[in-house]
Chains A and B, each alone.
Chain A
Amino acid sequence: MQQIHCLLNSLAHCISPKADARPLFFGAWDTPFAVEEDRLTYFSTQITNETYVSMFELLYEKKLETWYDYQLSKEANYERLRNLAESVTPGKHLLVQLDLYYLRYETRSFRNIHQPHFVIILQQQDGKWFLLDPYFAWEGILTEEEMYCAFFNNALGGGFFLDTENLLSPLKNAVCAQFEQEFALERNQLAHETKKLVRRFMDEPYEDSKAVITKAFSQVGIISKRKWCYVLAFDYFSESEAIHSDRQGFDEVEKLVKGWNAFGYLAIRASMGVTSLDKLLEKAEQLEIQERQLKEKLWHLYQGWRRAQST
C-alpha cells in the first residue's frame, strides 16, 4: 500500500487480513491539517484523530479503544503502554505514536526532524520492543532507550488498541453513509490554504522571505500523500460487475500527488527568487482544478456503484 497516513496505514495493516480496509480511507484525501505561524503543518495540538475513531466504529461496528490518556503524565502512559504490550496476542493490535526523530530506520528524520508518527507494537520482551511500521514498511527491534526517547519526547502523544477478532468488511449501507458524510465536492483545504498563504506572501513581502516561504510549504509533500486515498476509492467502487475497472483514476491521482510534490520544489525556487509567486499561485490553482475533476469523476463512479448494489 502507498504511504498515505501513518495511523490509517497502521489500522489498514491490522484490518486487512480480516476485512476490507479501503473504506476507512474514504474522505482522508481531505484530512485536516493546521496552519500555524504561516506554515502548513500536518500535526498540531489542534488536530485530533477522533474522526478516524468514529469512522472506524461506523464502518466495522467495533470499538477502536483509545488507551492513551491525555489527562495522565507521560510516565503513567508509558506504564500503560508497557502493560498493554504484554497482552498483545494474535488478533489484538497495539498502536502508539512516537517521535520519528528517534527512529533510526527513517533516515530522513532520524536526529534531524521531530515528527509524530504511529507504529504498531508487536511485542515487548526483555527490554526490547518489537515494532512494525506499515507506513515505512519496516519491522525490527527498538531498544528500551530508543523507545523511551521516542515516546517521551513526542510533542503530542496517542495510542489505540484494536481487536480484529470477528471483524467483518463494512456493509454497503455503512460505506454509503461514511462516503457521503466525508465526500465534499467543493472542499479542498490544501489548495485553499496554499493559495491564501501565497497571496499573503505576495501582498506582504517578508524580510526573510527565503526562509519563510520554504518553511511555509515544507510539509506539502506529506500532506499531499493523503490524496492517494482516491485510488482506493476508485478501486473499491469499480469492483462491481456492472462497472468496468477504472485505471485512469490511478494515473490522475498520481499526477495530482506528483503535482503537489512539484509545488513543494517550486516554493523553494520561489523563495530563492528563481520562480515567481505568480507561478506558484498558478500551480496551486491548476492542482485545485485537477482535484475537482477527480472528485467529480469519483462521485459519478460512486453513484453507479450505489445503483448497481441496489439492483
Chain B
Amino acid sequence: METIQTEQQIQSFLKDRICELLERPGLSEELTIDTQLSEVGMDSVMLVNLMVHIEQHYQIFYEDDELLAENFATIQIITDKIQEKLGLGD
C-alpha cells in the first residue's frame, strides 16, 4: 500500500462497496458503521463478494477460520479486522 489507510478511509471504501453490491446508492446516508449488514439485505453471496473486494484492494487474505458471518456483521467489525491484518490495529 502506498498510503496508510486510516480507519475512515477503510470505512468509506466498505460503505461504497456495500452500496454497490446492494445496488442501493441511497443507502449510503443511512448506513452507519454499526448497522447490521444482514438487516440491510447483505446475503452470503454479497458478503463473499465484499471479502474478495477487500482482499484485492488491501492485498490481504482471509483464512478459512475467519470466514464467519460474525466477522462481517458490521462495517466497524470488518474495519477492525482489516486494520489488524494491515498491522494498523491498537
Contacts and interface: CB of A to CB of B under 8 A. Distances in A.
- On chain A, which size bracket covers the interface? 10 to 19
A265 B38 CA distance: 15
B39 A261 contact: no
A265 B52 contact: no
Interface stretch (A38-46, A118-126, A223-231, A267-275): A267-275
Most buried by A among B43, B51, B64: B64
Contact of B67 (A107, A214, A261): A261
A215 to B, nearest CB: 10
A42 B44 CA distance: 18
A266 B45 contact: no
A108 interface: yes
Interface in A271-299: 272, 274, 283
A258 B52 contact: no
A262 interface: yes
B68 interface: yes
Contacts of A268: 44-45, 48
A269 B48 contact: yes
A214 B68 CA distance: 16
Given A108-B38, A268-B44, A262 B52 contact: no
Interface in A199-244: 214, 218, 221
A264 interface: yes
Contact of A283 (B45, B49, B64, B66): B64
A258 B44 contact: no
B30 interface: no
Contacts of B69: 261
B39 A265 contact: no
Given A107-B39, A261-B69, A272-B52, A266 B64 contact: yes
B48 A272 contact: yes
Contacts of B38: 107-108
Contact of B52 (A259, A266, A274): A274
A261 B64 CA distance: 10
Contacts of B68: 258, 261-262
Contacts of B10: none
Interface of B: 38-39, 43-45, 47-49, 51-52, 55, 64-69
13 contacts: A107-B39, A218-B44, A221-B44, A259-B65, A262-B64, A262-B66, A264-B44, A265-B47, A265-B48, A265-B51, A268-B44, A269-B52, A272-B52
